[in-house]
Chains A and B, each alone.
Chain A
Amino acid sequence: MSVRRDTASRRDVLAALAGAAAGAPLLLSAGEVRAQAQKPVRLLNVSYDPTRELYKDINAAYADYWKGRTGQQVIIEQSHGGSGAQARAVIDGLAADVVTLALAYDIDSIAQRAHLLPPTWQSRLPDSSTPYTSTIVFLVRKGNPWGIHGWTDILKPGITAVVPNPKTSGGARWAYLAAWGSALKAPGGNEAAARAYVTAFYKRVPVLDSGARGSTITFTQRGIGDVLVCWENEAHLALAEFGADKFEIVTPPISILAEPPVALLDKVVDRKGTRTVAQGYLNFLYSPLAQDLIGKNYYRPRNPQALAKYAARFPKIPMVTINDTFGGWTKAQATHFADGGVFDQIHKG
């Protein structure tokens, strides 16, 4: 949510730009190439809600790597918030060098509405520009008192579930689609069954927070709900943060392959002259070092070695995908989440 957006970093960026503008003539008049090479370069990474911890690790590693390779100091600013809100901020002018968002639709929107990058952005990096994947799992209270093991268990009498609002949260959209996919792929499943399941599911939700982190707080701190349907990484983080003696993770028998993509904003990096270092940053995400950090932070690495190292954390389960099951984000967005879409109809029924 924008409430939680790290505006300080934006201010820092502006200050830095002002400082750079003021400092540039001095450097140029001195004509010292060496001085210019040592001037720290700043990147702004605009990301979604739960990646704070991940990029803290990655940014430190990249700064070391870049310094070692070029001698140039790089400072990476972070901004976090709901994926949709972050995309809107970028469209409205937040000068992000790179965006690392929860779903491709949000970066498509940036391409479509602000033309900061070509529409073919997703083919520019390996694995459809998603250096890691994740999925949607359940967090339940210790001992799993309600015996929640799969999606239909959530419909047992008396159970309430906490999940954020798919209209405002990227993670919530993956969760909604995972729920839909589970009913679709169940024996005898079809569109109607999926719709009925999702309708019954959201009747069990007493609080719709606007972002993933908000829902985690509602479930863990406010004691609301019997199950939190959330990002896999967020569930692990909640265990680490609030104690494995209070909660446990249940991986459902089927879920969705969540692919949070990354992209370079061409118009921004060309204006700021940061293309090389920003491109290096995104390439770095695929390096063994970064892939290890990704696994360490409970995201599923693409790199087989890193994935093998952390395999115990990531149970192998069947997963539906956005392209095969839902025909891509544009279609999924229009069918389910747009005004008057299925999610709106659920509450009117």
Chain B
Amino acid sequence: MTAQAWPTPRPPARLKGWRERSVLPGFPLALGVTLAWLGVIIVLPLTALALRPWELGPQGVWTTLTDPEVLAALRLSFGLSALAALLNAPLGLLIAWTLVRYEFPGRRVLDALVDLPFALPTAVAGIALTALYAPNGPLGTLAARVGIKTAYSPLGIFIALVFIGLPFVVRQVQPVLMEFDRELEEAAQTLGATPRQRFLSVMLPAIAPALISGVGLAFARAVGEYGSVIFIAGNLPFKSEIAPLLIVSKLEAFNYAGAAAIGLVMVVISFGALAAISAAQAVFARRSRP
């Protein structure tokens, strides 16, 4: 099967590598490199971000963040990202299921297609989606006929976020489905479980942690998405202006601290959401274990 994009973390090998010779360098070196690398790549920029807004003073940061335009943009970004991630949960699960459980001509092609939103430069995705959903595009024309505005509206943003989020869910769920022990299902069947029960009580608990983490990743990615959204959004303040665009427009006005303040609050909310998701995941993982 194709590579698993984000392997679910396995329990660590304790301190085994400490004593035994392993392929990779020993534990102290490995940990040292890990800490150094994460420090440089993640902690350092985040620290810089966290320090920057305060040159406005606490009052200035508060004024920036409570500006109605900023609040509207944050609501839009987080709200639509959550909705898109939630829509991707059942759809991603279904697609993963189809790709794992059935053998049919073209399956491998479909499987490869799932990764396309990862591989495509986001600007290209944005332009393609806009061309498709603009009032004169093939899908936009259809939608306009029934009176729905797609591109240049929040719905357009939603479409772009669904597009970029889908692979996260599929690629998280797929390996778990593949490894799922079908004998469990058969056992449940022999014990008289209905298909509904088999799905809800046997399969879902096993898949749930992966599904939740896929949804979490799709959400986190969508919140920060700029390239694909900017072309299709319309970018009207209070209507279709996403938070990352506000960051860019603050930068254009040389308001680096204001931009950092919005960035920081986005990081904090995203981090909270990811923490909540990983807590939910842990609960499910514990429950599904016999």
Q: Indicate whether A and B interact.
A: yes
Contact code string B232-260 (vs A, CB < 8 Å = 1, else 0):
00111110000001001111111100100
Within 8 Å by CB of B252, from A167, A221, A224, lies A167
If A88-B252, A339-B255, A347-B237 touch, does A222 touch B69 (CB 8 Å cutoff)? Answer: no
A82 at the interface (CB under 8 A from B): yes
- Considering only residues 194-252 of chain B, those with a C-beta below 8 Å from chain A are 227, 230-231, 234-238, 245, 248-252
- Would A223 and B135 count as touching, CB distance under 8 A? yes
Q: What's the least CB distance linking B159 to chain A, in Å?
A: 15
How many residues of B are in contact with the other chain, CB < 8 A?
30
In the bound complex, residues from chain B placing their C-beta under 8 Å from that of A348 are 68-69, 238
A129 at the interface (CB under 8 A from B): no
- Would A165 and B249 count as touching, CB distance under 8 A? yes
- Considering only residues 128-176 of chain B, those with a C-beta below 8 Å from chain A are 130-131, 134-137, 151-152
- Considering only residues 301-349 of chain A, those with a C-beta below 8 Å from chain B are 337-340, 344, 347-348
A208 at the interface (CB under 8 A from B): yes
Closest residue of A by beta carbon distance from B126 = A3
In the bound complex, residues from chain B placing their C-beta under 8 Å from that of A165 are 235, 249
A113 at the interface (CB under 8 A from B): yes
How many residues of A are in contact with the other chain, CB < 8 A?
31
Q: What's the least CB distance linking A107 to chain B, in Å?
A: 13
A250–B276 CA distance with the chains assembled, in angstroms? 57
- Would A347 and B238 count as touching, CB distance under 8 A? yes
A313–B5 CA distance with the chains assembled, in angstroms? 57
- Would A82 and B250 count as touching, CB distance under 8 A? no
- Considering only residues 240-276 of chain A, those with a C-beta below 8 Å from chain B are none
A347–B73 CA distance with the chains assembled, in angstroms? 13
Closest residue of B by beta carbon distance from A214 = B231
- Would A222 and B227 count as touching, CB distance under 8 A? no
Contact code string A266-298 (vs B, CB < 8 Å = 1, else 0):
000000000000000000000000000000000
In the bound complex, residues from chain B placing their C-beta under 8 Å from that of A1 are 230
A82–B237 CA distance with the chains assembled, in angstroms? 19
A62–B123 CA distance with the chains assembled, in angstroms? 34
A40 at the interface (CB under 8 A from B): no
Within 8 Å by CB of A210, from B130, B152, B237, B248, lies B248
In the bound complex, residues from chain B placing their C-beta under 8 Å from that of A214 are 231
Q: What's the least CB distance linking B68 to chain A, in Å?
A: 6
In the bound complex, residues from chain A placing their C-beta under 8 Å from that of B248 are 2, 168, 210
Closest residue of A by beta carbon distance from B251 = A88
If A88-B251, A88-B254, A168-B249 touch, does A208 touch B235 (CB 8 Å cutoff)? Answer: yes
A/B pair count, beta carbons within 8 Å: 73
- Would A339 and B238 count as touching, CB distance under 8 A? no
- Would A208 and B69 count as touching, CB distance under 8 A? no
- Considering only residues 208-254 of chain A, those with a C-beta below 8 Å from chain B are 208-210, 214, 221-224
- Would B234 and A222 count as touching, CB distance under 8 A? no
- Would A210 and B230 count as touching, CB distance under 8 A? yes
A54 at the interface (CB under 8 A from B): no
A117 at the interface (CB under 8 A from B): no
In the bound complex, residues from chain B placing their C-beta under 8 Å from that of A84 are 252-253
In the bound complex, residues from chain B placing their C-beta under 8 Å from that of A3 are 123, 227, 230
A193 at the interface (CB under 8 A from B): no
- Would B235 and A209 count as touching, CB distance under 8 A? yes
In the bound complex, residues from chain A placing their C-beta under 8 Å from that of B227 are 3
A109–B230 CA distance with the chains assembled, in angstroms? 26
- Would B253 and A167 count as touching, CB distance under 8 A? yes
Q: What's the least CB distance linking B15 to chain A, in Å?
A: 45
If A207-B234, A210-B230 touch, does A224 touch B134 (CB 8 Å cutoff)? Answer: yes
- Considering only residues 68-115 of chain A, those with a C-beta below 8 Å from chain B are 82, 84-85, 88, 91, 109, 113
With contacts A210-B248, A344-B237, A348-B68 known, what are 4 further pairs, Cβ within 8 A?
A168-B252, A206-B236, A222-B137, A339-B67
Sample 27 A-B pairs with CB under 8 A, ordered by A number.
Answer: A3-B227, A3-B230, A82-B252, A88-B254, A113-B254, A165-B235, A165-B249, A167-B249, A167-B253, A168-B248, A168-B252, A208-B236, A209-B235, A210-B230, A210-B235, A221-B131, A222-B135, A222-B136, A223-B136, A224-B152, A337-B253, A339-B67, A339-B253, A344-B69, A344-B237, A348-B68, A348-B69
**6 nearest A-B pairs in the assembled complex, by CB-CB distance:** A223-B136, A222-B134, A347-B237, A84-B252, A167-B249, A208-B235
